[in-house]
Amino acid sequence: MKVLIIEDERGMALEMEDFLIKAGYLCDLAFTAKQARLFMEEGPYDFILLDLGLPDKDGLQVLEEAKKICHEASYIILTARGKLEDRIKGLDLGADDYLPKPFSLLELQSRMQAISRRKSGLKDNLVSLGDFTINFSNRIALFEATDVGLSKKEFDLLSYMVLNKNRPLTRMQLSEHIWGSFTDDDYDSNYIDVHIKNIRKKMTEYGPADWLQTIRGIGYKIKL
């Protein structure tokens, strides 16, 4: 998943970036509202983590503008502001959550996972796919108690499709969210096809995986 971190405290921004990259996210950093807008216009993003105390524009104004550009993204406000009216206004403008500074990076990740589950209609970190179980917390796919052995990128691809279950996803969409943005010159749909083939091969060694469907001329989807 792609995350835009909008935070003018460079140390904190870099710390968040390092943590989220290790957790499997793709991250871009913006230290000003102007930089953030340039990134958002290139989008799309799954999450935008927004500090309200930016040097060139009030964060609530940035949030209001961002919702018009990246309307499908989930927004978490990160700020030292403690005023109730700021929190209420942020939520009224469309933020999905509010995390006051200082905060634990583990709590940030937990809240991001909760938002993803809620938007996907999932109740917890375990999702059943036929005879398989996807464990989002431990980042493994299981057949009964056996780890199927997906690679990091294979799990990223499968979990993103699960979070968008029953929705056809193009190869370009999957590439952008798993590998980052591609230009027309370096985009190669074979990246996705090879990984889907590997996922199917590993899964079918244990049981049927007919929930992973190919949508001819479009891409792939998880049918639940």
- The structure's pTM equals 0.73
Q: What pLDDT, in 10s, does the model give residues 165-206? A: 899 999 888 887 777 654 444 445 588 899 999 999 999 999
User: For residue 212, how many other CB atoms are within 10 A of its CB?
Assistant: 20
CATH of the domain at 199: 1.10.10.10
CATH of the domain at 84: 3.40.50.2300
Give which of 128, 151, 129 is closest to 139, Cα–Cα: 151
Total domains, the chain: 2
pLDDT of residue 88: 82
List, in order, residues 6 or more apart from 214 with CB less than 8 Å away: 196, 220
Provide the residue range defining the domain that includes 9: 2-120
Domain end position, chosen among 120, 143, 174: 120
SS3 56: coil
- As a whole number of angstroms, the distance between CA 186 and CA 100 comes to 40
pLDDT digits (tens), the chain, 224 positions = 899 999 999 999 999 999 999 888 889 999 999 999 999 998 789 999 999 889 999 989 999 999 999 988 999 998 876 667 777 888 888 899 998 888 999 999 989 988 988 887 776 788 889 899 999 888 899 998 899 999 988 998 998 899 888 999 998 888 877 776 544 444 455 888 999 999 999 999 999 999 999 999 889 999 98
Assess whether 170 and 89 both reside in one domain: no
List, in order, residues 6 or more apart from 181 with CB less than 8 Å away: 42
- As a whole number of angstroms, the distance between CA 77 and CA 98 comes to 5
